[in-house]
């Protein structure tokens, strides 16, 4: 089985951050979302992985290298424009050849592993196998209608009147049969080749399309609020440790990680908090749900429920809550304590 990970798209809901980096590379709890996806594929034995990229190909190449740090071998496949998930599948066809494929969206965080779904797919070898998750508002997602045995009867993209609440998580297992269905597609009303339309064709043709319900954690990291929430949710899963330098005037409360090479002086760290290697925190309060990126400076500031990307500098008087601060930003006297979750960048 080969892997296919989608890392294109514009990430418009995360502007201005995504003008300079793909949303899939934004870290949560210290690890880029795309890296978590690749590790998930490695965990089920998928080694050869194509990553579909757009205009920000070089940033992905620089971040992933050959993929070995995540246990896979990465090949980048260029998609000239965001033309839909099924179009990405078609573009990657030369890489996939006639192998089974595990296709995963690169902006999804899913805990609990892919083992169950992968095992069911390999045991039954259906044309397609979908990983589904119950949601409160299915109108925001692609939704599957399934039988009592998990057989997929229909899929609808963002239905106005949903027949159920089982959303497509962005994890798909396909046999080579899917390529014939993709070849028959025509662009949807939004001008894209929809993977849901390809699945519908398989169902209509009588091919076996099955599903597994995922009952663990799942988050589509598409907005600043999603990034902030996901970071907060995942931080308690880290092993608490203080490997860096923390002076005696600093108070450490709760679940805190200070990586080797970080330095904290005269501050309050109220976990869950992650301070990455090379960061300096001085005369500041770092509140729950916060990651301070590598080589950041936080000086005389307050940061809560936020993700501060690598190399940023927060100077005297900065007060952040619910923010994602872009890579290498310099902030002075920013008050965001009353703002909704947002991206902060120049």
The DSSP secondary structure of 85-97, one letter per residue, reads HHHHHHHTHHHHT
What is the rounded CA–CA span in Å between residue 333 and residue 320?
A: 10
Look at residue 260 in the predicted model and tell me its pLDDT: 98
Handedness of CA 274, 280, 286, 290 (dihedral sign): negative
Look at residue 345 in the predicted model and tell me its pLDDT: 53
φ, ψ dihedrals at 181, nearest 5° = -65, -40
Place of tokens 């960061």: 279
**Tokens of residue 345, six digits:** 């960048």
Which range is least confidently modeled, 48-57, 136-145, 152-161, 328-337? 328-337
For the segment 33-38, the average pLDDT, to the nearest whole number, is 97
Which range is least confidently modeled, 12-16, 169-173, 231-235? 12-16
Look at residue 337 in the predicted model and tell me its pLDDT: 47
Residues 201-250: pLDDT tens digits?
999 999 999 999 999 999 989 889 999 999 999 999 999 999 999 999 99
Alpha carbon separation from 102 to 78, 128, 157, 179, 270 (Å, rounded):
18, 10, 20, 14, 40
For the segment 125-133, the average pLDDT, to the nearest whole number, is 97
What is the rounded CA–CA span in Å between residue 177 and residue 189?
A: 25
Look at residue 17 in the predicted model and tell me its pLDDT: 78
For the segment 50-61, the average pLDDT, to the nearest whole number, is 93
What is the rounded CA–CA span in Å between residue 213 and residue 245?
A: 44
How does strand 101-105 pair with strand 2-7? parallel
Considering the entire predicted model, what is its pTM?
A: 0.92
Residues 318-332: pLDDT tens digits?
999 999 998 888 887
Which range is least confidently modeled, 32-41, 152-161, 280-289, 292-301? 152-161
Q: Say what percent of the chain tops pLDDT 90.
A: 81
Give, rounded to a whole angstrom, the gap between the first and last alpha carbons of the chain: 43
**Tokens of residue 244, six digits:** 């860096």
3-class DSSP state for residue 280? Answer: strand
Place of tokens 């663990």: 216
Place of tokens 């497509």: 168
Look at residue 317 in the predicted model and tell me its pLDDT: 86
Tell me the pLDDT of the chain averaged across its residues: 92
What is the rounded CA–CA span in Å between residue 124 and residue 136?
A: 30
Q: Is the pLDDT of residue 9 over 80?
A: no
Look at residue 182 in the predicted model and tell me its pLDDT: 98
Place of tokens 């000086």: 299
What is the rounded CA–CA span in Å between residue 302 and residue 321?
A: 8
CB 319, CB 302: distance < 8 Å: yes
Look at residue 252 in the predicted model and tell me its pLDDT: 98
Look at residue 207 in the predicted model and tell me its pLDDT: 97
């Amino acid at each position: 089985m080969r892997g296919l990970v989608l890392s294109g798209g514009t990430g418009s809901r995360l502007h201005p951050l995504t003008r300079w980096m793909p949303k899939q590379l934004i870290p949560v709890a210290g690890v880029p979302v795309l890296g978590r996806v690749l590790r998930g594929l490695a965990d089920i034995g998928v080694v050869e992985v194509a990553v579909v990229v757009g205009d920000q190909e070089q940033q992905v190449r620089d971040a992933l290298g050959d993929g070995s740090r995540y246990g896979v071998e990465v090949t980048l496949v260029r998609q000239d424009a965001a033309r839909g998930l099924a179009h990405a599948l078609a573009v990657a066809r030369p890489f996939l050849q006639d192998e089974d494929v595990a296709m995963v969206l690169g902006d999804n965080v899913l805990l609990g592993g892919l083992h169950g779904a992968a095992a069911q797919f390999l045991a039954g070898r259906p044309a397609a196998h979908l990983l589904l998750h119950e949601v409160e508002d299915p109108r925001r997602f692609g939704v599957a209608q399934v039988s009592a045995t998990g057989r997929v009867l229909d899929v609808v993209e963002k239905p106005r009147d949903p027949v159920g609440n089982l959303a497509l998580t962005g994890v798909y297992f396909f046999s080579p049969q899917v390529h014939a269905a993709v070849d028959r597609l025509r662009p949807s009303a939004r001008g894209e080749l929809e993977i849901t339309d390809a699945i519908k064709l398989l169902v209509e043709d009588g091919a076996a399309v099955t599903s597994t319900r995922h009952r663990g954690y799942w988050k589509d990291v598409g907005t600043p609020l999603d990034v902030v929430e996901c970071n907060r949710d995942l931080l308690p899963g880290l092993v608490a440790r203080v490997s860096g330098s923390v002076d005696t005037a600093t108070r450490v409360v709760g679940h805190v990680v200070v990586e080797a090479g970080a330095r904290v002086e005269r501050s309050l760290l109220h976990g869950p908090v992650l301070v990455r290697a090379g960061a300096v925190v001085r005369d500041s309060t770092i509140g729950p749900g916060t990651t301070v990126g590598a080589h950041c400076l936080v000086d005389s500031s307050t940061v809560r429920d936020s993700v501060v990307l690598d190399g940023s500098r927060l100077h005297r008087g900065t007060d952040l809550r619910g923010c994602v601060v872009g890579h290498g930003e310099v902030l002075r006297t920013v008050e965001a304590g009353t703002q909704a979750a947002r991206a902060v960048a120049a």
